[in-house]
Amino acid sequence: MNTTAPLEFDLVVLGGGSGGLAGAFRAAQHGARVALLEPGELGGTCVNVGCVPKKAMWLASDIAGHLALAARMGFDVHGSLRLDWPAFIADRQRYIHGIHESYRRRLDQAGIALMPARGRLHDAHTVECANGTRLHAANVLVATGSSPRRPEVPGAQLAGVSDDFFGFCEAPESVALVGGGYISVELAGVLQALGSRVDIFARGPRLLGHADGELVLQLQENYRQQGVGMHFDYRLAAIEQGAGGLRLRDGDGQACGDYAQVIVAVGRGANTDGIGLAEAGVALDGDGNIVVDAYQRSSVPHIVAVGDVTGQATLTPVAIAAARRAMDRVFGGRVDAKLDYDDIPTVVFAHPPLAGVGLTEAQARVRHGDDVHVFRSTFRPMLQALADRPQHSLFKLVCVGETRRVVGIHLLGEGADEILQGFAVALKKGITLADLHDTVAIHPTSAEEVVLMR
């Protein structure tokens, strides 16, 4: 039995990912004494096996695509255009190591006690570290993130998960991606551009169930043009090791393969097991997510939770924004501080990117019926047209009412990830179609299509 008096803090943070770090820094800015527990690398999924290394690989694959375009446009491109994976990975990891160092410096400068240990709630105010050290605090922030799930089928252990992709040292000859969500879509584009033969096996009738259906159909056509195979309404029954590689077997007993690698991307689960939530009285929903109110408070009000562990809009910027507002409320005196979860912009780093904010056309028609007005522009970006390639962009506005208030902006095309941010601000502020028409276009760009749609 541990008889040592616990160390006293104002806030103990479980998890050193994006949400945990943001909460720790904001609480310290308000003068709180903060301890942060993280047994792994700082930055969590986003920095280590998510957004950051994913975007690095996307950039490499984007360069590969432009090199192929260069040859079609008259550039004298000699030699192999294949990526030197080990050299690129060294640069990628150097970049990530710099982020780790930056976090450590900032934690030290802020006076935050960093404890490289796993924490568990001993009771509603006490956190116990794996080494037995106990921390006592008036407030606790849980930001332990999520982990990839595996399907419950025979042979599932033969497949990798999205985390394993970042351990690749070369492009596999062939890859099967099980799942039709954003992780499968992003990895498919990257791997195909870097030399793999890629097939996607989606459980649903289309990719990206959350995105606007019309844009998804265009993305699927672009992927077909790029050589990505897609299988819809697929029911995985087993993964098997064959003589020539890994095989997928469906519910009808049909086998498909052989693949050098299989990656399952069938969702993620909150990291809520084994951290003492039940002992502290924190309620979970049926999927294991921490139940929180609009202010990120759990069923135990002084225990707040942010990020993937809550199952709410599981995006890095959302975790950061929610954590900062929660700490402004707890320590900064802003009693009404909370995150508005409406109209959060998102990007799928497909090839090309698919970005959206607000309501899809289908969602708008459910909510507003015949008051919905849709405007769209399908076009080939200049670079694709110059190279005489079939890849098309599709930009779409969803408007409602006589004023044509814009309630949804959906962009598929080169630069969509960069274009959307500014338009997301405009949508949040209630922009109308007339406001867009009053804005002079920047020509020639893809972005001008947003203000020219009629």
CATH number where 233 lies: 3.50.50.60
pLDDT in tens, 90-100: 999 999 999 99
**What's the pLDDT score for residue 76?**
87
Pair 223, 311 in one domain: no
CATH number where 391 lies: 3.30.390.30
* Distance, CA of 35 to CA of 113 (rounded, Å): 5
Amino acid at 267: G
Is the residue at 75 inside a domain? no
- At residue 257 the predicted structure's pLDDT band, cuts being 50, 70 and 90, is confident
Is the residue at 337 inside a domain? no
The secondary structure of residue 284, as a DSSP letter, is B
- At residue 2 the predicted structure's pLDDT band, cuts being 50, 70 and 90, is low
- At residue 404 the predicted structure's pLDDT band, cuts being 50, 70 and 90, is very high
**What's the pLDDT score for residue 4?**
79
**What's the pLDDT score for residue 162?**
96
Over 70: is that where the pLDDT of 216 sits? yes
Pair 289, 393 in one domain: no
The structure tokens 């550039």 sit at 75
Is the residue at 97 inside a domain? yes
Give the rounded percent of residues in the chain with a pLDDT score beyond 70. 99
Over 70: is that where the pLDDT of 11 sits? yes
- At residue 77 the predicted structure's pLDDT band, cuts being 50, 70 and 90, is confident
b/e string for 275-287 if b means 16 or more Cβ within 10 A? bbbeebebebeee
Pair 292, 431 in one domain: no
Secondary structure string (H, E, C) spanning 154-201: CCHHHCEEHHHHCCCCCCCCEEEEECCCHHHHHHHHHHHHCCCEEEEE
Is the residue at 414 inside a domain? yes
Is the residue at 59 inside a domain? no
| Mean per-residue pLDDT of the chain | 96
Cβ within 8 Å of residue 38, ≥6 positions away: 15, 16, 17, 20, 44, 114, 115, 116
Over 70: is that where the pLDDT of 212 sits? yes
**Mean pLDDT (whole number) for 282-288:** 97
**Mean pLDDT (whole number) for 321-339:** 98
**What's the pLDDT score for residue 374?**
98
**What is the pTM assigned to this prediction?**
0.96
**What's the pLDDT score for residue 252?**
95
Tally of domains in the chain: 3
Beta strands in 338-433 (DSSP E): 346-348, 354-358, 372-379, 393-400, 405-412
The structure tokens 């039709």 sit at 180
Pair 444, 375 in one domain: yes
pLDDT in tens, 152-196: 999 999 999 999 999 999 999 999 999 999 999 999 999 999 999
Pair 140, 207 in one domain: no
pLDDT in tens, 409-436: 999 999 999 999 999 999 999 999 999 9
Over 90: is that where the pLDDT of 3 sits? no
From residue 124, how far is each of 4, 184, 251, 302 by CA, in Å? 18, 39, 46, 8
Over 90: is that where the pLDDT of 215 sits? yes
Q: Are 270 and 285 contacting, i.e. CB atoms less than 8 angstroms apart? A: no
Which domain range does residue 22 map to? Answer: 7-51+87-147+269-331
Would you name the residues annotated as active-site residues? 443
Is the residue at 187 inside a domain? yes
Q: Are 307 and 145 contacting, i.e. CB atoms less than 8 angstroms apart? A: yes
**What's the pLDDT score for residue 293?**
98
pLDDT in tens, 12-32: 999 999 999 999 999 999 999
Cβ within 8 Å of residue 75, ≥6 positions away: none
Pair 121, 192 in one domain: no
Pair 257, 289 in one domain: no
Is the residue at 57 inside a domain? no
Is the residue at 339 inside a domain? no
Pair 24, 142 in one domain: yes
**Mean pLDDT (whole number) for 111-122:** 97
